[in-house]
């Protein structure tokens, strides 16, 4: 049975990915900054919730030791943990910049650096980074968030070139507007305005992302690496 580690798994896209893989029979380890648990009668695999701050390198080392002891070191790593702190650039506080970059980008570095070692040793692994369409096309009020997600594309491409010879693939998914708790703050008018900009005229579902993660983690995607794939209803075409 394969093991998968998903950061930011307590809600939204991360939670959807965790449920999807657990129902497919994987051993799922999901992390979040606070305590949480999932219970689902349809789980064919196992689910292990883990309190973890992706910016805390000491706690990541402890998590590695714990998962190694439990034989849960991941064959598949999904870097999903991320935050927003939206503000126009001229009003953006230093902390808003630092916190978003630390979690969204440096957190991905921290987690990947720790868990890729076993993949290199095994000469096998899948790394999937959850980016954003904002990192591809930019978005007013999100200089910090867009920068962190754009950087993930460079991270993905460069790492893919380094570890390809070890049979490790590294890809990125750039979701557009997905109907999760991160878009709940939008009122009905704002949602309609957004949907009018999308060729498919609707927001996506978290399952749209989960299914692509599952494909990229499969043997069928063994010749795909270094890519950033948009799932955005045609919002950004490149």
Q: Which residues pair with 173 in a beta bridge?
A: 130, 229
Return the biggest CA–CA distance within the chain. 52
Q: Where are the beta strands (DSSP E) in the chain?
A: 3-6, 27-32, 46-51, 76-79, 125-130, 168-175, 228-231
3-state secondary structure of 39: coil
Q: Does the pLDDT at position 61 exceed 80?
A: yes
pLDDT tens profile 170-212: 999 999 999 887 677 677 887 888 899 999 999 999 999 999 9
pLDDT tens profile 77-93: 999 999 999 999 999 99
Which of 27, 146, 17 has its CA nearest to residue 78?
Answer: 17
- pTM above threshold 0.85: yes
Q: Of how many residues is the chain composed?
A: 238
Distance, CA of 90 to CA of 104 (rounded, Å)? 21
The domain 3-231 is placed in CATH, from the list 3.40.50.720, 3.30.1310.10, 1.10.10.10, 2.30.42.10, at: 3.40.50.720
Mean pLDDT of 29-48: 84
Q: Where are the domains of the chain?
A: 3-231
pLDDT tens profile 9-18: 999 999 999 9
Q: Is the dihedral of CA 216, 76, 125, 54 positive or negative?
A: positive
Which of 229, 175, 234 has its CA nearest to residue 201?
Answer: 234
DSSP string spanning 41-106? Answer: TT-SSEEEEEE--TT-HHHHHHHHHHHHHTT---SEEEE---------GGG--HHHHHHHHIIIII
DSSP 178: B
Mean pLDDT of 34-48: 80
pLDDT tens profile 89-114: 999 999 999 999 999 999 999 999 99
Which residue carries 């867009």 as its tokens? 146
Distance, CA of 235 to CA of 174 (rounded, Å)? 11
Mean pLDDT of 43-50: 87
pLDDT of residue 77: 98
Q: Are 194 and 134 in contact (CB under 8 A)?
A: no
| Spacing of C-alpha 86 from chain mean position | 19
> By percentage, how much of the chain surpasses pLDDT 90?
86
Q: pLDDT-derived band of residue 41, with 50, 70 and 90 as boundaries?
A: low
pLDDT of residue 36: 87
* Active-site annotation holds for 145: yes
Of 19, 145, 214, 223, the active-site residue reads 145
Distance, CA of 203 to CA of 141 (rounded, Å)? 20
pLDDT tens profile 119-168: 999 999 999 999 999 999 999 999 999 999 999 999 999 999 999 999 99
Which of 75, 78, 67, 225 has its CA nearest to residue 157?
Answer: 225
């Amino acid at each position: 049975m394969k093991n998968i580690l998903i950061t930011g798994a307590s809600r939204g896209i991360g939670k959807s990915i965790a449920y999807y893989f657990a129902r497919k029979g994987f051993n799922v380890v999901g992390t979040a900054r606070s305590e949480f648990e999932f219970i689902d009668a349809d789980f064919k695999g196992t689910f292990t919730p883990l309190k973890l701050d992706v910016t805390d390198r000491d706690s990541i080392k402890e998590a590695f030791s714990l998962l190694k002891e439990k034989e849960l070191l991941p064959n598949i790593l999904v870097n999903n943990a991320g935050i927003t702190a939206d503000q126009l650039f001229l009003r953006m506080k230093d902390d808003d910049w630092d916190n978003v970059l630390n979690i969204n980008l440096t957190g991905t570095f921290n987690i990947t650096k720790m868990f890729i070692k076993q993949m290199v040793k095994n000469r096998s692994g899948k790394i999937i980074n959850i980016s954003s369409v904002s990192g591809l096309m930019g978005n007013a009020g999100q200089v910090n968030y867009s920068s962190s997600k754009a950087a993930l594309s460079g991270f993905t491409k460069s790492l893919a070139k380094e570890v390809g010879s070890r049979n490790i693939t590294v890809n990125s998914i750039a979701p557009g507007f997905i109907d999760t708790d991160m878009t709940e703050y939008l009122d009905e008018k704002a949602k309609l305005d957004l949907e009018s900009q999308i060729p498919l005229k609707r927001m996506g579902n978290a399952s749209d992302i989960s299914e692509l993660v599952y494909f990229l983690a499969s043997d069928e995607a063994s010749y795909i690496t270094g890519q950033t794939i948009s799932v955005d209803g045609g919002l950004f075409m490149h």
